Every structure is written in C-alpha cells, then in structure tokens.
Amino acid sequence: MEDFQTASTVEALYNRSIDVVLKLRARGDVTEEGSEEVSRRSPRFSITRTAELVGRTGAAIRDAEKDGRLPNVARTQSGRRIGYTLAEVNAMRAVFGTQPWRAPSDPLSIIAVQNFKGGVGKSTVSVHLAQYLATQGYRVCLIDCDSQGSSTMMMGYVPDLDISEEDTLYPFIRNTEMTSLSYAVRETHWDGLWLIPANLRLYSAEYELAAQIARSDHMLLNRLSQGIASIAEHFDVIILDPPPALGTISLSVMRAANALLIPVPPTVVDFTSTTSFLAMLYESIGVLEERDLPINLRWIRFLATRADEQKSMQRELLQIMRNLFGENMLRAVLRDSAEIDNASARMMSVYELEQPVTSRETYQRCLTYLNAVNAEIETQFRLTWPSHAERLRAEGVL
Ligand SMILES: Nc1ncnc2c1ncn2[C@@H]1O[C@H](COP(=O)(O)OP(=O)(O)OP(=O)(O)O)[C@@H](O)[C@H]1O
Ligand SMILES: [Mg+2]
C-alpha cells in the first residue's frame, strides 16, 4: 500500500523554511553595544544631513547643544560624533519648532497603495514611503492590511512567529463593540513611524466579513475607516498596504482611504491588469455609494514601478501611460533596482541598508529614485492641507 505522509512532509518543509526566514532576518538585525538585545538598527544622520532634515544650520544645532537647549550628542572615544538618531532629529525639530505636522484642521492623509494585481510593488512602495515620511518628521502609521504580511516583514517581524492575531486589525474588524484601534498601533525602531502589523490570521477576517456582509451587514466595510478615525489625532499620514485582491478588506481600505496611489510596472501584462483594476474599482465605488458608503479620494496617482528603461517596450509603455494619465501620473519613476531586492532579502528597506549591497552607484541611484517618488507624494498630500498649501505656494512649488 502506498504510504502517504503529506502532513508531516509539509510540516517539515515549513520548519526548514522558517529557519531560513529567521537567518535572513538576522542579517538585518544588530546587537546594541553593551546589550544582549537583538534589535533593528535605527537610522543615524551626519550633522550636515541632520541640519537639512531639521531645517536649521549645523551652527544653530551646535549652539543649541552648547547652551543646553539640546542634549550633547554621543561621541566615540576619540571624540567623534557618532551621528544623530532619528529620535534626536525629532527632538531638535521640537526645540526649533520645525515639525512639518498638519494643523489640527488639515485632513489626515489616508493613502491606499492599491492595485489588485499582485507583485507590482505595493508593499515595497508602502514601507519606503512610510520610512521616508517619518524621516521628514511626519507622524506616520503604516497599516499592513494584507495577511501575507510583507510590510510587517520589511519592518523586521516574522508575521507568523512574532505577531499574534490580537496584534492585528482582526479583533477590531470583527468586534463592533471595540471603539479604538489604538491597541494594535506599535512603535517601531523608526522614530515617528508606527505600525499595525498583519499575519495570516487576518485572512479569516476576509471570509468572516464576506459572510456577514452577505447577510446584509455591509456597514462592516466601515470598520477600518472607524478604526482609523479613532487614532487619527496622533498622525499626519496613514499608509494602507492592502492585499492583491478585490475582497472585503480591499473594499474596506478603499472606503477608509482619501487618496489612492496605484503602482504599475510598465509591462503589457501589468498595464492590462491595472485596466481591469480600474474597472473593478469603478464598479465597487458604485456599489458602495448605493449603500451610503461613498469613496472620497482627494487625489489619485499612478506610479510606474519596477521600471527598466533599458527595455524599449517599457519605455514605450511609460510614454503611453504618461499621455494617457497626464497629471494623474507621478513624474518620478521607481526603477527596478537590485538594491531593493537585496534590502527586502534582509527584511528591511533600502533606507536601512548601512552600505550598498551591490555598488555605491546602484545604491545612490536607487535612493535618488526613491526620494524623488516619495517627495512627489509628499507634495500631493501637503496640497490637501490648507496650512501647507500656502507654504508650498510661497516655496514656489505651485
Ligand atoms: N523597484 C523594484 N526593484 C526591484 N525589485 C522590486 C522593486 N519593487 C518591488 N520589487 C520586488 O518585487 C517583489 C514584489 O514586491 P512587493 O511585495 O512590494 O509587491 P506587492 O504588490 O506588495 O505584492 P503582493 O501583491 O503580493 O502584495 C518583492 O520581492 C520586491 O522586493
Ligand atoms: Mg504586498
């Protein structure tokens, strides 16, 4: 008789895979000096970069350190500054009053990075955008709405081991008696960036919601929106990384968002899928509107991702997309880069790499694309903040 061992074989394969995952993560971890604790490295900035980020001169920072308005920075034994952490940069912003926060009357920016097509770079864009904005001094919450937990992973967690279902959106979405989402918001190693992580259990919410909505309880599609409203006062920007499917979670994300960023690689397959995504989105907007759950987006932007401009077909498609989408397409393009792959293989972002994995040029180029994309998105939401729109006009951005 044949001997079936399916379950034990799959279990053994899982155990071996998780070992690899843990080893990969360890490449992104550090042990803090003088401590046994393994953690993620927070970014550090030179005085020049710090001055840029704070919006004051290096001399002004040194003066503030001398006269005690700022603490003295840590130095190596030879007396060299070891650089400022993001927490120190943010403390300086507080002292100098240069935080770029929204005014309480400006609307919270809730950006869905959405496309039902898989693998287009949603999670990559979400994490890099979140870290970039936190570095600029905004108070950011990244919400991983995908049970695959890719963003959670890029923030250094192994979703199935480090995260339990109570740490995710799941309890809030299913339990309508809960009034605040704050239980799920956790600090991260990146000052100014908070995370609501995801793990596989979030997939159950997809099913449960669908079943309940089928019994005509469609107001459940409002739960994420209500959850975000319960934590809104603490943040300037919320970034939503949804799963690659038109399910109840994705609909909840669309309902909660007030801005939509659509990553699209300039290939025929991805472009075609994105066209279907637009059709489905259009239908869903209609269905939600009928149920008194309108989707109100302040801006919609397409972002070309994973672009390889060496390929003539991709160049051509990029041009077609620019003509087609006009001002709804970001000018900056996120090119395909080995550094992005290399960073994600260490469960981190390119912003966290201490040094290039490939070459300095590749790394610098990649940072240039990322910063250009993220800065353009930053301008988009600042335009929706009356207190900032004025400043942008003064800066000549408009
Ligand atoms: N610009 C890029 N250059 C190189 N690799 C990239 C780039 N963008 C994304 N990738 C890689 O492509 C893969 C898919 O990216 P990502 O997980 O961000 O896509 P996604 O749209 O979130 O996928 P899913 O639909 O499964 O949620 C990852 O391995 C990521 O490292
Ligand atoms: Mg993803």
From 24, 123, 148, 367, the mutation candidate for ligand 1 (largest count of ligand atoms within 8 A of CB) is: 123
For the segment 83-109, the average pLDDT, to the nearest whole number, is: 95
Residue of 213 and 341 predicted with greater confidence: 341
pLDDT at 296 over 60: yes
DSSP string, 299-341: EEEEEE-SB-TTSHHHHHHHHHHHHHHGGGB-SS--B--HHHH
Does the Cβ of 344 fall within 6 Å of ligand 1? yes
**How far, in Å, is the centroid of ligand 1 from the Cα of 136?**
24
**How far, in Å, is the centroid of ligand 2 from the Cα of 95?**
37
Nearest-angstrom CA–CA distance, 294 and 282: 12
Taking CB atoms within 8 Å and a gap of at least 24, the contacts of 49-58 are 50/83, 50/84, 50/88, 50/89, 50/92, 53/89, 53/93, 53/135, 53/136, 53/137, 54/89, 54/92, 54/93, 54/96, 54/98, 55/93, 55/96, 55/98, 56/92, 56/96, 56/98
pLDDT in tens, 249-263: 999 999 999 999 999
pLDDT at 396 over 90: no
Does the Cβ of 131 fall within 6 Å of ligand 1? no
Atom of ligand 1 nearest to the CA of 115: 21
| Average per-residue pLDDT for the chain | 91
For the segment 313-337, the average pLDDT, to the nearest whole number, is: 96
pLDDT at 82 over 60: yes
pLDDT in tens, 28-54: 776 655 555 556 777 889 889 999 999
- Domains of the chain are 40-96 (1.10.1660.10), 109-394 (3.40.50.300)
pLDDT of residue 1: 60
Does the Cβ of 248 fall within 6 Å of ligand 1? no
Residue of 82 and 318 predicted with greater confidence: 318
Nearest-angstrom CA–CA distance, 150 and 246: 18
Confidence bin at 93 (pLDDT 50/70/90) = very high
For the segment 284-296, the average pLDDT, to the nearest whole number, is: 90
Return the structure tokens found at 325.
Answer: 């989408």
Does the Cβ of 126 fall within 6 Å of ligand 1? no
For the segment 93-103, the average pLDDT, to the nearest whole number, is: 96
Atom of ligand 1 nearest to the CA of 243: 27
pLDDT of residue 302: 97
Taking only Cα atoms into account, the Rg of the chain, rounded to an integer number of angstroms, comes to: 22
Return the structure tokens found at 283.
Answer: 């239908």
**How far, in Å, is the centroid of ligand 1 from the Cα of 301?**
18
pLDDT in tens, 134-188: 999 999 999 999 999 999 999 999 998 899 999 999 999 989 999 999 999 999 9
pTM (two decimals): 0.94
Does the Cβ of 117 fall within 6 Å of ligand 1? no
Does the Cβ of 306 fall within 6 Å of ligand 1? yes
